[in-house]
Chain A
Amino acid sequence: MTEVKQLVKGLADQYGRNEECLLPILQGIVTSEQHISEDAMVEVARELNISAAQVYGTATFYSFLHTKPLGKYVIRVCKTITCMMHGKNQIIKELESLLKVNLGETTHDGKFTLMETNCLGQCHKGPAMLINDKPYTDLTPEKVREIVMMYRNKELRSN
């Protein structure tokens, strides 16, 4: 059995094989693989006896279920109205120039992916962003530079 087959089978054993188990299984794949590959989707479809297109439809619907490989650190900047009014565009510009990628892209070293997301529930402290699971709020371009520096240094130390 291939690795992904094993992973999906294990998740299906854990959560069940009804249609409503689709979401927890997909989340489980993201937790261990970060993104849901084409092969993984086919395996999920097989395990739950549903169509692969349906798995794809569900996976592409949710912002936190990825269908493409991402960097080690996924930066998600809130794009919703309050953060927009607090200047999320400057934050994104700053990140783009720091990381040398456009929105939606991953850096060449595979460390950072820059994305937008919907409201993070931090509107009173906007602009806000997430790096993996960690929220950062009241962002300014200076603050963003410091945060990115911190992650870069962390990476250097771990090498």
Chain B
Amino acid sequence: MAEKINLKIDNIAVNIDEGSTILEAARKINIRIPTLCHHEDLCVAGNCRVCMVEQVDSDRLLPSCAMPVSEGMEILTNSLKVRSARKQVVELLVSEHRADCTRCYKNGKCELQELSSEYIVGENGFIDLVPLKNYSIDNFSPSIIKDDSKCIRCQRCVRTCNQLQNIGALSVAYKGEHMKVSSFYEKPMYEVVCTNCGQCINRCPTGALTEKTYFDEVWSALNSEKKHVVVQTAPAVRIALGEALGMPAGEIVTGKLVSALRRLGFNSVLDTDFTADLTIIEEGNELLQRLKKALVDGDTSVKLPMTTSCSPGWVKFIEHAFPEYLENVSTAKSPQQMFGALAKTFYAKKIGVEPENMVSISVMPCTAKKYEADRPEMRSSGYKDVDYVLTTRELALMIKQAGIDFASLPDDEYDSIMGESSGAAVIFGATGGVMEAALRTAYEVVTGREVPFENLNITPVRGMEDVKEATIKIENVLPEWSFLEGAELKTCVAHGLSNAKKVMEAVKAGTAEYHFIEIMACPGGCLGGGGQPIPTSPAIRKKRSEAIYREDALKPIRKSHENPEVVHIYEEFLKEPLGKKSHELLHTHYTERNRY
């Protein structure tokens, strides 16, 4: 056990583990010290200096986020010296910041703005340096806007992209007054290795990194008489939307979400969970087909391990970083894109709407989905399959704009045909969820029995460990799967792209033998997606994860292949998994991309 340290903060005694920082000690006794560069998910940077505190009998101020506690220390967090230093730090930051708050997307949600209002940064601060700077705005990407004039160079984004994601799309360039956060050669984010995961957006304290928004386009569609507007909602939205509308983390708000979408005027309120179930059928069958080809037909061209394909951040990552493994990625489209392709074909026909009069919207926990919807190959219906992608945050904003009191909304149900889903689809939103959903179905297809886990809960693939592995022994199989008798299916689950990279490097080095790998680009899976409510932290992600598994347990149907609407769409339209229609609408291909 760690040694305990005794110290006093603002004359209150604290007892805390050795190695803790002053900031942590202060939080323990509910003293708030402002921070900007500090973030719970990231390593200490200590560069913003807004967290300075005074040590009694010492003439230096200390950065509390970086300074470990020591025995007998006496700290003041609110002395005159501290307050004036803090105010000056904020004033200096503002002097280089285009403080255009009333026109800023982060207005009301910005950490710099909050501090400026707390310390009343008035007219008498430092002179405004913004006119002298050559700041630029990069808004070429369909996912991300990078506005250097709002950047306070705290480097949270750089640490996120390097540490959590191990992409390094952003780095610090130049020095001194010219120092800036930059992509390779200051190229637009659209052209570099950025995966559009949006993790940096989730952690940027200001308006320097934000998602590109589409709510104005969606409002126009909703207000157009001629248009039939269809909306789909991803699994992870229903357990996080509440946070952006004043509710605590971990509330399941599925019913209120549906009510709100109806109130906003969407004509069909449908569920991405339906196509999540469909993904399991297509991807599960693809896996079994690959195994059969490899094991029975001895086809050496078959690529194993197969990896999932539903996370567009992961897909873009592998296109840049491991292009030699593109054939290992399942050809199944993500649930969002399967939905889009079916909405303007199958569904449009069913409800008698011309596809050109249909506008297809998705609400996603994700910023990479905006880029995915824009890919040229995502036009299987003959139209853009998904017209606009909104983040959870954008939908929350629309609900506010419409004057809806979200918390008091009654629960409502999704429309039918593409609105039904199983518990297996809900857990797509958590790391390990796709694996669990796939195993629930594949095991049963092969053996005719349910997976041998209590209540279908495949706990080895759940939880927040970096990389999880599980081996499932397949026994007493049905006759047509006799080649799998006694086989051990080796699976691996990773979340966050730095973990994905570790797994892919092991695969490349030949030190890991897997059949099936699930990868989600974001920490925790989609529940920690780049489009989710801000802030994010390990504790918040844990609450969201618990909510997802609660929602799964509450569902009457727990397995994708038992979703009646899925069964029905195969009977009526798709005919069979991996069939001709599926190939036209539900599968895709990938493109090798550059190294920078």
A interface with B by C-beta (< 8 Å): 38, 41-42, 45-46, 50-57, 60-61
Q: Would A46 and B595 be within 8 Å (CB), given that A53-B171, A60-B174, A61-B175 are in contact?
A: yes
A57 engages B172 (CB within 8 Å): yes
Counting chain B residues whose Cβ lies within 8 A of the other chain, the interface size class is: 10 to 19
B168, A53: Cβ atoms under 8 Å?
Answer: yes
Contact indicator B171/A51 (Cβ below 8 Å): yes
Contact across chains for A51 and B162 when beta carbons are under 8 A apart: yes
Contact residues in A for B175 (Cβ distance below 8 Å): 60-61
A50 CA to B161 CA in the complex, in Å? 13
Task: Please indicate which of the listed interface residues A41, A45, A53, A60 has the most CB atoms of chain B within 10 Å of its own CB.
Answer: A53
Q: Do A53 and B174 touch across chains, with their CB atoms under 8 A apart?
A: no
Distance of A16 Cα from B169 Cα, bound (Å):
24
Q: Which 10 pairs of residues, A with B, have the shortest CB-CB distance? A: A51-B168, A52-B596, A57-B171, A53-B171, A52-B184, A60-B173, A53-B184, A57-B173, A54-B171, A60-B174
Closest to A63 in B: B175
**In the bound complex, do residue A52 and residue B173 qualify as a contact, i.e. CB atoms below 8 Å apart?**
no
Residue in B closest to A38 when the chains form the complex, CB atoms: B185
- A51–B173 CB distance below 8 A: no
SS class of chain B's interface: helix, strand, loop or mixed?
A: loop
A57 (CB) vs chain B CBs: closest residue: B171
CB-defined A-B contacts under 8 Å, sample of 29:
A38-B185, A41-B185, A42-B184, A42-B594, A42-B595, A45-B595, A45-B596, A46-B595, A51-B167, A51-B169, A51-B171, A51-B596, A52-B185, A52-B192, A52-B595, A53-B170, A53-B171, A53-B183, A53-B192, A54-B168, A56-B171, A56-B173, A56-B184, A57-B173, A57-B182, A60-B173, A60-B174, A61-B172, A61-B173
**Complex interface: chain B residues within 8 A of A56 (CB):** 171, 173, 182, 184-185
B193 adjacent to chain A (CB < 8 Å): yes
For B182, the chain A residues whose CB sits under 8 A away are 53, 56-57, 60
Q: How far is the CB of A41 from chain B (nearest CB, A)?
A: 7
Task: Give B contacts to A, CB under 8 Å.
Answer: 162, 167-175, 182-185, 192-193, 594-596
Q: Which residues of B contact A53 (CB under 8 A)?
A: 168-171, 173, 182-184, 192-193, 596
| Alpha-carbon distance A46/B175, docked complex (angstroms) | 25
Contact B168 A41 (CB under 8 A): no
Q: A38-B185, A45-B596 are in contact. Are A52 and B174 (CB under 8 A)?
A: no
A46 to chain B: which residues have CB within 8 Å? 595
Chain B nearest CB, measured from A50 CB (Å): 7
CB distance from A48 to the nearest CB of B (A): 12
| CB-based contact B596/A42 at 8 Å | yes
Closest-by-CB residue of B relative to A61 is: B175
Instruction: Note all chain A residues with C-beta closer than 8 A to B171.
Output: 51, 53-54, 56-57
Docked Cα-Cα span, A61 to B184, in Å, equals 13
| Nearest-CB residue, chain A, relative to B183 | A53
Closest CB-CB distance, B508 to chain A, in whole Å? 12
Q: How far is the CB of B58 from chain A (nearest CB, A)?
A: 30
* Other-chain contact of A41, B162, B184, B193, B594 (Cβ < 8 Å): B184
Contacts of B193 in A (CB 8 A): 51-53
Minimum Cβ distance to chain A for residue B188 (Å): 13
Q: B169's closest neighbor in chain A, by CB?
A: A53
Closest to B178 in A: A60
The distance from the CB of B78 to the nearest CB of chain A, in whole angstroms, is 37
Give bound CA distance, A53 to B182, whole Å.
7
